Amino acid sequence: MSRLSFRPRPLDIHKKLPIVKSIKDFEDDDAPATAASTRNSQLLRLAADADNEQVHQTPGKKSSQEIPTPQFSVVATYERDYARTFAQPTSYLRARGARAEIGEFVEYDLDDEDEDWLEEFNKERKTLTPEKFETLLFKLEVLDHKIREKAGVITPTFVSPIPVLLKLDAAAEALQSLFVRFAVFQSVYNYWKGKRERWQKPILRCLQPPPPVNDTNPYNVFRPREKAHRLHTRRIQRRENNVQSFEKLRQVRRNLDQVKTVLEALIKREEKKREVMECEINLQRIQLKYKHEAQLVEDRSALPGFIPAPCKFGSREDDLMDSDDATNGRPHAWPTAVHLQSIDYKMAMVPAGRMRQDLKRAPLRNGWLRKMDPNEPVLLFARGVDPDKLAAAGIVRPPDPSIENGSVAPPYRFHGRIGRGGRIIFDRWNPLLRAPLGHESSAYVLPSPLPPPNG
């Protein structure tokens, strides 16, 4: 609906965000003209809706109850099928070993086919119980698996039909302890073998191999996942101790030595740079001091009633030295000889540590009129322009346009100042608004040639 006219900067999840407890704060604290206010009104509406949400709630609730899902019912025989034999211990239950490890549990459950065959088999007289049959099939599966394991024909995945390797005699011998008559056992064995050959895979699910990794048949499930080999290359390399790794280490040493040389050179260079910088700062300080004290001399002469405190002025020779230059108002015009002399003088006078301290303090001070500290530097561009000096230098102020056409707009005075590097700067003028540029916040009004009607 309403979009911000600008793209908000991406949210930094590490940044602490203010929590605004009332939406009304949004409305009050900002100009109403911003595009975002529409979003806020939306929020306000939300808050208002909170009161009469009853209206919104009802249809939603109704529909959620109407979502139909397939049904379920209670099994009548449940109470009989499942015995009430479970007693929860007071401590949390722990897992036992998996069933296969215990070995006693008959994991195989007869399927329809088995049951049908057994029914047929027991038709004349009951010779085999389902439980016994289940056990036999289970043991046959396990025995066959062991034999295939020994023969080394177990494949990790299901790629080709799995043959039966267990022979009748071997099976009968191994399962003697089950006390099954050989005739019965033979029938079961034959039935099992037939079933295995039809299935072409073990009938016990836990013995069935998974489908191969590259099998795409969607009916086949539970593929093994390719193991992602994490390469421990670094550890392996470190352990090797041969000529190759020796050479490699020598190369590393050479590289490090070179890096060391480069870094040392870098440190030297940076030290030199710092020295140069300090020299320049010194130079500028001295220049500023000259300029500043010359100005004071001038001020005193302009205001005859003003008597400077002795600590401020007149105690230094250098102040007097350039006083005649100061009237010029243009630092560049200083004689070179005086220039150099003053630098030498300052260098001798001011220790470097103190100078730095002064510079650090400087930005904190904005009241340039309080020139209590004679060491405090005055930056040229912060000083206003003296019209008299301008005139003396042959610079003419541009005419004031408001005076020219005699409009009702308040007369505007040019604020000239000295910019960095000694340029003289006048703020620019917008002829339509009759205001200096940079003050556009006031409404745009065309200057009317007619006087406003009375009334």
Partner 1 sequence: MARTPRSAAIRTRTGVQPLRFSSTVQMGSIEGAKAENGVAAPACNGGDQRNGGGGAAVRDSEAEAGRKGKAGAGVALPLEVGTRVMCRWRDQKLHPVKVIERRKIPNAGPNDYEYYVHYTEFNRRLDEWVKLEQLDLDTVETDIDEKVEDKATSLKMTRHQKRKIDETHVEKGHEELDAASLREHEEFTKVKNIAKIELGRYEIDTWYFSPFPPEYNDSSKLYFCEFCLNFMKRKEQLQRHMRKCDLKHPPGDEIYRSGTLSMFEVDGKKNKVYGQNLCYLAKLFLDHKTLYYDVDLFLFYVLCECDDRGCHMVGYFSKEKHSEESYNLACILTLPPYQRKGYGKFLIAFSYELSKKEGKVGTPERPLSDLGLLSYRGYWTRVLLDILKKHKSNISIKELSDMTAIKADDILSTLQSLDLIQYRKGQHVICADPKVLDRHLKAAGRGGLEVDVSKLIWTPYKEQG
Q: Which of 32, 60, 304, 410 is close enough to bind partner 1 by CB under 8 A? A: 60
Residue 223: CA atoms inside 13 Å, Cβ hemisphere, count? Answer: 14
Instruction: Say whether residue 75 binds partner 1 (CB under 8 A).
Output: yes
Q: Which of 26, 121, 158, 345 is close enough to bind partner 1 by CB under 8 A? A: 26
Backbone CA torsion sign across 436, 437, 441, 443? positive
Q: Which of 21, 123, 229, 370 is close enough to bind partner 1 by CB under 8 A? A: 21
Number of C-beta neighbours around residue 25 at 10 A: 12
Q: Give the three-state DSSP class for 418.
A: strand
Cα 347 from Cα 286, distance rounded (Å): 9
Instruction: Say whether residue 444 binds partner 1 (CB under 8 A).
Output: no
Stretch that binds partner 1, among 64-72, 174-182, 383-391, 441-449 (CB under 8 A): 64-72
Q: How far is the CB of 5 from partner 1 (least distance, A)?
A: 11
Compare residues 28 and 404 and give the one whose CB is closer to partner 1: 28
In the block, tokens 């005193």 appear at 300
Compare residues 114 and 293 and give the one whose CB is closer to partner 1: 114
Q: How far is the CB of 154 from partner 1 (least distance, A)?
A: 16
Q: How far is the CB of 27 from partner 1 (least distance, A)?
A: 11
- Tell me if 222 sits within 8 A of 210, measured CB to CB: yes
> Among candidates 301, 327, 297, which has minimal Cα distance to 393?
327
Stretch that binds partner 1, among 22-30, 159-167, 413-421, 423-431 (CB under 8 A): 22-30
Q: How far is the CB of 54 from partner 1 (least distance, A)?
A: 11
Q: Radius of gyration of the chain from Cα atoms? A: 50
Q: Binding marks (x or -) toward partner 1, 223..252, rule CB under 8 A?
A: xxx---------------------------
- Tell me if 434 sits within 8 A of 407, measured CB to CB: yes
Q: Give the three-state DSSP class for 272.
A: helix
With a CB cutoff of 8 Å and minimum separation 6, the contacts of 312 are: 296, 371, 372, 374
Q: Binding marks (x or -) toward partner 1, 364..403, rule CB under 8 A?
A: ----------------------------------------
- Tell me if 128 sits within 8 A of 118, measured CB to CB: yes
Instruction: Say whether residue 106 binds partner 1 (CB under 8 A).
Output: yes
